[in-house]
Structure 1
Amino acid sequence: MSGVGIGQRPQNRRQKAVKFLWIGIWLAYLSAPVGDLLHGGHSDGVVVLGWIGLVAFVAWYLALIFRTGRGETEGVVLGSLAVLATQSTVLAFTLGREWLVLFVYVAICSGAALPFRLARWSIPAVSVLLTGVACAVPGGTTFLAGLLFPAILGGFSMTGVRELIRTTIELREARATVAQLAANEERLRLARDLHDLLGHSLSLITLKSELAGRMLPDHPDKAAQQVADIEQVSRQALVDVREAVSGYRRPRLSAELAGAKVALTAAGITAELPAEPDLTGVPEPSETALAWALREAVTNVVRHSGARRCTVELLRRQTLDGPVLELSVEDDGSGDQGGGPGNGLAGLTERLAKEGGTLEAGGARHGFRLTARVPAARAGSRDAAPADVGSPS
């Protein structure tokens, strides 16, 4: 079942029901006024009016909470809070000390619906009003100590929640903007590089095509040579385009580490990742293979493991076959990585083997561990010294 996250307004009936249930839990503290209506010895007319007043208060309270953040002016919110405060005062004076608990809801509404610059004054004002009414209502001072602290603490706690929601919304909007800007920048770079890459080739093809057309009637042998040149240029252009596109799709280990941290954090998993790795001397195909391994491992952790912590280590080791770069991803989950080695791990094994690397995956002492190794130096170069590339930070 999908819930309502912090900073997200309910979008469908299920999410609205979840929010209503969450808010409704706190209405349990209205048991004192309800008990007073049921067992307080009031006349029938007073009981009826009391029920009407309680229902009106709850309806106004829920309306104000649900409408928070939807563009209401501060004046409307202050007016609504004034109505709630007036209802609380009238009900407490007319029905007794059990109704003082309504002021706690007024204070919480103040923190939830008003910006902090106003809430820091409205919450103490509600507390002062609560104190005054409690002193005026018979026996109210015995309830004051148990209500004043929840009113102040609950009100200011809701100001923190409101700021957290506002900050979360701003961060999500900023992340979406950054992603859009990055995508636009990538499109511009791709367009610029393709223009530079193909501009010369296409211009040459156009010129040779025009030249072949002019030579064809009188010099067909020379025209044929121009056509052969056109074929050669077009084939080279095709190779260049393929290499360019392949280069854009090749993942980088530093980028995958950053993406892994975002994915694990979003899934509620504590991530321990190495700092920016030093990949000096590491062949690009080896780095790419490890980047794919990291992506596959983190995807499995997020989707299948149910883990609470994930540790990524990146080490450079010296072996009999030469220096190797070792990536290990270990989680403390159930050890279930999707029901056994699937297409992802099988394809990853083939990818690593193509670069002279290996893959080990299986249960660890506290969960699941994936270890990928690739050569850390080009073929024929064995002089790299063993050193840690990175350690969890």
Structure 2
Amino acid sequence: MRIGQAPRNRRQAVGKTLWVGIWLLYLAGPVGRLLQPGVPTAERVWGGLGLTLFVLSYLVLVFRHMWRKMTVPLQYGAPALMLALATALSWTLDFSWLVLFIFTSVATAVVLPWRQSRWTIPLVTAVLLAVGARYPEIRGYYLFAYGLPALGTGFIMVGVQHLIHTTTELRAAREEVARLAANDERLRLARDLHDLLGHSLSLITLKSELAGRMLPDRPTDAARQIADIEQVSRQALVDVREAVTGYRRPRLAVELAGARAALRTAGVEVSADPALESEYRGLAPDEEGALAWALREAATNVIRHSGARHCELLLTEEWEADERRYLCLTVLDDGAGPPRTQHDGNGLSGLRERLTRAGGRLETGPAPRGRGFALRARIPLTAAPLGAAAAPETSPESVNDPA
């Protein structure tokens, strides 16, 4: 049984019913009074009917609040009926019926909003004290036996209701977080598959067309292209598996080699900054992965959309106006340039999300020379400057060795 939730099976329903019903044992005083010998029949009939109606109103109110949406007539009518029965039975019979006011206080705390129950609970307690004042034999202790429990139990139930509402909201928030996490994972997978398959399938298409043009005159060269297709296909399968499991961390040097091969196969001349080929110590794995994805997506777009003959790859450090140092990957081509709509496709949208999550940003637009397309991916840096290489380790043997 989880608090604030309706029962899901018969066992939970029985458990909740027993939890509610066990508190009815506090009615043992009025029931015992009715069963005493010598009680007039009229009193028994009036007490039995009144108590039955009171208990039914209480149970209907509690179970309806627990399992279904409360209607306004029932929400306000049932507590009013319970208060009227508690007052009439306590006034006409004896002081043991004052316990009904405690159930009435609890019922109002459960079904009424806090702004109303904070007034109805003291009102029920005040009526209890007024009715109890007519019994001289209990004036010494009825305030502690009935008044304080009615007031305290009512406000305790207000706190319990607040706890139930908070728990319900937390469950809803947890479900929403789980849903957003699943959506984020689907987006990640879609992004990875688009980038991986778009690049690999473009290369496979180019090499297949090239092999087709080589046959039947140049079978040896065609066989070499087919072997490359097999290698690219196998690597694409490995990349897809790694993307699905979430372990893929692309490297700039690896993606540079793949971009060069793909661009040259497409007949695009490539000039790459030497900084792309060296190990960069100031770049975290996630940041390097974002730039590597940017390089892969940019190379794929050059092959598929630009119609360029030359592509330039640059990696530079830049200082921004916010006095932060950024590592900027720039891909320039001399192709057709950006579309007039300036609308990002799936690849650029996914790349923009990757860079944003890594703290960077993506810029696209016309190339500086006036013809072609420029893609710039920026990642903030906090470590060693560009080109900083690891200092060679020295040992006593190397120091003393004349060679």
Same fold at TM > 0.5? yes
Which deviations, in whole Å up to 9, do the C-alpha atoms of 1:293-313 show, x marking residues without a partner?
xxxxxxxxxxxxxxxxxxxxx
Give secondary structure in 1 for the equivalent of 2:133: helix
Shift of 1:161: 0.4
Q: Pick the structure with greater CA Rg.
A: 2
Compute the TM-score of the two structures, normalised by the length of structure 1.
Answer: 0.59
The equivalent of 2:62 in structure 1 is 65
**Alignment length, in residue pairs?**
249
1:94 maps to 2:92 = yes
User: Please, which of 23, 26, 36 is the counterpart of residue 23 of structure 2?
Assistant: 26
The whole-number CA distance in structure 2 between the counterparts of 1:211 and 1:15 is: 69
Shift of 1:40: 6.4
State the match for 1:76 in structure 2: 74
What whole-Å deviation, never above 9, does each CA across 1:173-207 have from its counterpart, x for those lacking one?
10110111011111101211221122111111122
Which position in structure 1 is the counterpart of 2:182?
183
Quick one: distance in 2 between partners of 1:157 and 1:89? 23
CA distance in 2 between counterparts of 1:58 and 1:40 reads 24
Q: Which runs of 5+ in 1 are unaligned?
A: 251-283, 285-380, 382-393
2:254 match = none
The residue aligned with 1:52 is 49
The CA deviation string for residues 66-124 of structure 1, in whole angstroms up to 9 with x for no partner, is: 12253214553122100110111121122222111100100011112222211110100
Matches of 2:201 and 2:158, distance apart in 1? 63
How far apart, CA to CA, are the structure 2 residues paired with 1:106 and 1:41? 29
1:375 alignment counterpart: none
1:167 aligns with 2:166: yes
Report the alpha carbon displacement of residue 127 of structure 1 after superposing the two structures with TM.
0.6
- Pairwise CA distance, 1:21: 1.2
Q: CA RMSD in A?
A: 2.4
1:213 is paired with a residue whose SS is: helix
In structure 1, what is the Cα distance between the partners aligned to 2:136 and 2:30?
Answer: 15
Q: Deviations over 1:26-60 (max 9, x none)?
A: 11111110111011633223312321211111111
* 1:35 counterpart = 2:32: yes
State the one-letter code of the partner of 1:80: A
**Paired residue type of 2:153:** G
The answer on whether the counterparts of 1:74 and 1:114 sit within 8 Å (CA) in structure 2 is no
Q: How does 1:291-370 map to 2 (within 5 A)?
A: none
Counterpart residue identity of residue 67, structure 1: R
**Compared with structure 1, are the counterparts of its residues 141 and 78 closer, same or farther at alpha carbon in structure 2 (3 Å cutoff)?**
farther
CA gap 1:233/1:249 in 2 versus in 1, 3 angstroms: closer
Unaligned runs of 5+ in 2: 250-284, 286-392, 394-403
| Equivalent-residue separation in structure 1 for 2:185 and 2:171 (angstroms) | 21
Separation (CA, whole Å) in 1 of partners of 2:10 and 2:239: 53
Amino-acid identity (%) = 56
CA deviation string 1:329-382 (max 9, x = no partner): xxxxxxxxxxxxxxxxxxxxxxxxxxxxxxxxxxxxxxxxxxxxxxxxxxxx9x
Secondary structure (helix, strand or coil) at the match of 1:128 reads helix
Structure 1 residue 245: Cα displacement: 3.6
| CA distance in 1 between partners of 2:53 and 2:37 (Å) | 20
**C-alpha deviation, 1:246, in angstroms:** 4.3
